[in-house]
Amino acid sequence: MNPIRVAFYAPLKAPDHAEPSGDRTVARLLLQALKRAGMEVQLASRLRARVGAGDAAAQRRLAQKGHVLADRLIAKYRKWPKRQRPQIWFTYHLYYKAVDWIGPRVAAALDIPYVVAEASHAPKRASGPYAFSHAAAEAAVRQAAAIFCLNPADKECLATIVPRERLIDLPPFLDMRRFAGERPDRALGRLKLATHYHLDPNLPWLLTVAMMRPGDKLASYEALAEALRHVRRPYQLVLVGDGAARASVEHAFQPLKGRIAWLGRQPEAALPEIYAAADVFVWPAINEAFGMVLLEAQACGCPVIAGASGGVPAIVVDGETGWLSPPGDTAALAADIDFALDRDLAPQRLAARAHAFAEHDIETAAARLRSLLGKLAGA
């Protein structure tokens, strides 16, 4: 049987973009899952379609650019024999700030299914500075033959404009082979980090891994700094990340100077040992879709304390693999940290790893993609 041919596009950030982020991570994982499902995948475009300031003129310029690129793709694909053309268009992360100006046009012209993963619908944007992009995003969502929902919180609004049977649950996932080998030696990892960054191995270590960007990431860092000021138990905080907002993050944590190890940006291969060495992963997760680092931490046996934003409750089992607090409630976050540091966390470590492997492996995602996309493509 010939593989199903898929044209892939991520309007917010291409999977081969130079800047790391959770969005790029998910795009790459989706590509891997599609290939693992036996698909032949081609990156259709690298156009970055995000407009962050509600600039109506910028939205229209992007729409025009996207339509030109779409028409070029249509002309190119039509020159190919039908057996070589894409059978499905697959777009990752579609919403009013990052509209897919290309895929719907190409899919309609080639008469192939248009499929989306992680779409959202925001009715309150129907008027105002994003009205133009909102209308286009809604039209794309309505056109979709299937929408894979990584964040369950998106389904309520999506169900107002598309039939529920088109909304397919696809829990966030990782390639667990990366974490399935010999687990990092926790004691050795702590010794190495303690030696290099002057940490006290006898104190509990809290860990945060996040890019330092203005906006929601900075807001989460500021909320974490505020929460930690109210934690009663002794601890040390290990911070992994860097970015344009580094100075603002450092300013927020100035009152906690002496309790923090700044590890900066770390290579992906180094993270499992860091996760395993920590006692708890902490992150307020303000306006977080779901947070891939929360899943990575659990895969390495590190329990999570986080704000219950968006899809976070779908990947962190409150009371079993970690603890969740109301989004933005720094007092509750501090109380959860104190609660965790007062107990033996061995059961949570085991539960976190078991949960990640059982519910969030790429093989499960690949099977779901293979089943539905095969039906849509008539394979």
pLDDT digits (tens, 9 = 90+) for 368-378: 999 999 999 98
CA distances in angstroms from 264 to 249, 250, 337, listed in the order given? 12, 12, 23
Same domain for 200 and 146: no
Would you say residue 179 has pLDDT above 90? no
Confidence at residue 257, expressed as pLDDT on a 0 to 100 scale: 87
Confidence at residue 249, expressed as pLDDT on a 0 to 100 scale: 98
- Cα angle 214, 215, 218 (rounded to 5 degrees) comes to 65
Same domain for 371 and 317: no
Same domain for 188 and 132: no
Q: What is the pLDDT of residues 103-155, one digit of tens each?
A: 999 999 999 999 999 999 999 999 999 999 999 999 999 999 999 999 998 99
Q: Please state, rounded to an integer, the average pLDDT across all residues of the chain.
A: 94
Confidence at residue 215, expressed as pLDDT on a 0 to 100 scale: 93
Same domain for 205 and 91: no
Would you say residue 1 has pLDDT above 70? no
Query: Judging by DSSP bridges, how do beta strands 114-119 and 146-149 pair with one another?
Result: parallel
The stretch 332-345 carries a mean pLDDT of 97
What is the domain count for the chain? 2
Confidence at residue 187, expressed as pLDDT on a 0 to 100 scale: 87
Same domain for 25 and 125: yes
Q: Residue 59: which pLDDT band, with cuts at 50, 70 and 90?
A: very high
Q: What is the pLDDT of residues 276-287, one digit of tens each?
A: 999 999 999 999
Same domain for 189 and 151: no
Confidence at residue 340, expressed as pLDDT on a 0 to 100 scale: 97
Would you say residue 237 has pLDDT above 80? yes
281 contact partners, CB below 8 Å, separation of at least 6: 206, 207, 208, 209, 275, 293, 294, 297, 302, 303, 304, 305, 306, 322
Would you say residue 44 has pLDDT above 80? yes
Would you say residue 359 has pLDDT above 80? yes
Would you say residue 54 has pLDDT above 90? no
Would you say residue 182 has pLDDT above 70? no
Place of tokens 């680092």: 293
Q: What are phi and psi of 7, to 5 degrees?
A: -95, 125
Q: Residue 235: which pLDDT band, with cuts at 50, 70 and 90?
A: very high
Confidence at residue 290, expressed as pLDDT on a 0 to 100 scale: 84
**Domain region containing 64:** 5-173+361-376
CATH number of the domain where residue 115 is located: 3.40.50.2000
Beta carbons of 147 and 166 less than 8 angstroms apart: yes
Same domain for 224 and 247: yes
Same domain for 87 and 128: yes
User: How large is the angle between the packed helices 362-376 and 22-36, nearest 10 degrees?
Assistant: 60
300 contact partners, CB below 8 Å, separation of at least 6: 179, 183, 184, 271, 272, 275, 276, 353
Q: What is the pLDDT of residues 192-211, one digit of tens each?
A: 999 999 999 999 999 999 99
What is the model's pTM? 0.88
Confidence at residue 379, expressed as pLDDT on a 0 to 100 scale: 66
Confidence at residue 352, expressed as pLDDT on a 0 to 100 scale: 97
84 contact partners, CB below 8 Å, separation of at least 6: 5
Higher pLDDT, 303 or 18: 303
Same domain for 138 and 252: no
Same domain for 310 and 265: yes
Same domain for 215 and 135: no
The stretch 309-328 carries a mean pLDDT of 95
Q: What are phi and psi of 237, to 5 degrees?
A: -105, 130
Confidence at residue 76, expressed as pLDDT on a 0 to 100 scale: 97
Confidence at residue 2, expressed as pLDDT on a 0 to 100 scale: 83
234 contact partners, CB below 8 Å, separation of at least 6: 203, 204
Same domain for 287 and 255: yes
Nearest by Cα to 303 from 357, 358, 356: 356
